[in-house]
Amino acid sequence: MIASSRSPLVFVVHLSVLLLVALWTLPTAGLLISSLRDKDQLAVSGWWTALSTSSQNLTGRAASPETQVERDGKFVIAGRLIEEGDTKVSAFGFRPLQPTAFEAGAEADIGDGQTLTVREDGSYEIVSPTKMEGTRGQRIFYTASVPPRFTLDNYREVLNAEGIGASFINSLTVAIPATIIPILVAAFCAYALAWMPFPGRAILIAVIVGLLVVPLQMSLIPLLRLYNGVGAFFGVPAKTYGGIWLAHMGFGLPLAVYLLRNYMAGLPREIMESARVDGASDFDIFVKIILPLSFPALASFAIFQFLWTWNDLLVAMVFLGAGNEELVLTGRLVNLLGSRGGNWEILTASAFITIVVPLIVFFSLQRYLVRGLLAGSVKGG
């Protein structure tokens, strides 16, 4: 596009775009990688080290002296600190202040003539010339190098134990009807505003453009009062799925009408005029010609509305209950941030489940999303 595209600047361009892309993707990548890591590893090392072997300081306890056996005139307690596998012990100790005093395989004198040996494979042996007393096993501190472990356990846990599975269904319950129902309502209105002349049309369009930017906050308290009033009057709960579907429809309509009207107004007038000459009514023209032709705009709006209703927190918090049957994913995630603030294995897996549906929608339907954004914003220019 520009003549300078062959200059040495190109290298700088590549590099800076690469840097920006890295900045924009790394946070999400970190979340995804972390959600797949073993939770003990996740807690002690950064996700960027996920592929390397990590060294962990661990504590274990030998079996109790009751299990000792007599061998060659000595008393021996033997066992394993870790399961057989790729994990390797590099050092061990028996005092909390010197957890790495001995190398793996060395013999440590732990007093009373007893010796402790921890081998690289994690097996240990306590040898004593006399019979050992007590019931508690010897504490052993050791440093182990643990190979990277990836697992779906975190997902299994959050889906079942943390209620993310139930919330996933709740989010779908909110988002699907709230996306589909407004489309027809908006399309009919948009057609009337685009192609049916009537007095006051320009004012109505101006009002809808104005409503596009009315902050949601203005609606919350009056609607909450209205819902409570309606609920009390009819003796039904004030917070229902029906209520939130209608609320999402109301809040989504200005954008829907605006987008669709702009699109429909851009359709060629000749099509409609020739249909009218053939005796088609406005209703026929709309259903048989305009609606099929407007598919791209309808798809754009549907994607917007789905992303908005799925990602919404505020409307759900105000108009939907907080019970297990109603709490949506975003609300559940906020609760988890409060109650499980430090458990990153739970937070990362939960967060990824909440964002995976929008990401799939985004990557598969990006074209319509871009088209919708351009139709909604680049006017005049």
Partner 1 sequence: MQQLLFAIFTMVGGVLACVVYFFGTNFLLDKMFPSKGLTGAQASKNLRITNAIRPWLFMAPALFALTVYLVYPVFESVRLSFHNRSGQQFVGFSNFAWMINDGEFRQSIFNNFLWLLVVPALSTFFGLIVAALTDRIWWGNIAKTLIFMPMAISFVGAAVIWKFVYDYRAEGSEQIGILNAVVVAFGGTPEAWMTIPFWNNFFLMVILIWIQTGFAMVILSAALRGIPEETIEAAVIDGANGFQIFFKIMVPQIWGTIAVVWTTITILVLKVFDIVLAMTNGQWQTQVLANLMFDWMFRGGGDFGRGASIAVVIMILVIPIMVWNIRNATKEMEGH
Q: Minimal distance in Å, beta carbon 9 to partner 1?
A: 6
* Collapsed DSSP state (helix, strand, coil) of residue 64: coil
- Show the DSSP H helices in 36-109 as ranges: 39-44
Binding mask 46-85 for partner 1 (x = CB under 8 A): xxx-------------------------------------
Instruction: Work out the burial of residue 115: count CB atoms within 10 Å of its CB; fewer than 13 is exposed, 13-18 middle, 19 or more buried.
Output: middle
| 333 lies in the site for partner 1, by CB under 8 A | yes
Q: Minimal distance in Å, beta carbon 24 to partner 1?
A: 5
- Residue 135 CA, distance from chain mean position: 48
Query: Given candidates 114, 170, 294, 343, which one binds partner 1 under the rule CB under 8 A?
Result: 170
| 24 lies in the site for partner 1, by CB under 8 A | yes
Site residues (CB under 8 A) for partner 1, limited to 79-98 = none
| 26 lies in the site for partner 1, by CB under 8 A | yes
| 150 lies in the site for partner 1, by CB under 8 A | no
Site residues (CB under 8 A) for partner 1, limited to 273-332 = 281-283, 286, 307, 310-314, 317-318, 325, 330
From 85-93, 121-129, 133-141, 367-375, span contacting partner 1 (CB under 8 A):
367-375
CA dist list (Å): 4 to 10, 16, 17, 19, 245: 8, 16, 17, 21, 53
From 79-87, 106-114, 134-142, 370-378, span contacting partner 1 (CB under 8 A):
370-378
Q: Minimal distance in Å, beta carbon 234 to partner 1?
A: 16
CA dist list (Å): 335 to 156, 168, 172, 331, 332: 19, 15, 19, 6, 5
**Which is closer to partner 1, CB of 94 or CB of 142?**
142
Binding mask 246-265 for partner 1 (x = CB under 8 A): xx-xxx-xx--x-------x
* 375 CB neighbour count, 10 Å cutoff: 19
Q: Minimal distance in Å, beta carbon 79 to partner 1?
A: 29
d(CA 337, CA 340): 6
Site residues (CB under 8 A) for partner 1, limited to 194-223 = 196, 198, 201-202, 204-223
From 88-96, 121-129, 147-155, 362-370, span contacting partner 1 (CB under 8 A):
362-370
What is the side-by-side order of every strand in the sheet holding 69-71?
69-71, 74-80, 123-128, 115-118, 107-109
**Which is closer to partner 1, CB of 127 or CB of 178?**
178
Token pair recorded at residue 231: 């609920």
What is the side-by-side order of every strand in the sheet holding 139-146?
54-61, 139-146, 88-93, 102-103
Q: For strand 69-71 and strand 139-146, is the pairing parallel, antiparallel, or unpaired?
A: unpaired
Q: Minimal distance in Å, beta carbon 277 to partner 1?
A: 15
| 230 lies in the site for partner 1, by CB under 8 A | no
| Per-residue b or e along 172-206, where b marks 16 or more CB atoms closer than 10 Å to that residue's CB | ebbbebbbebbbeebbbbbbbbbbeeeeeeeeebe
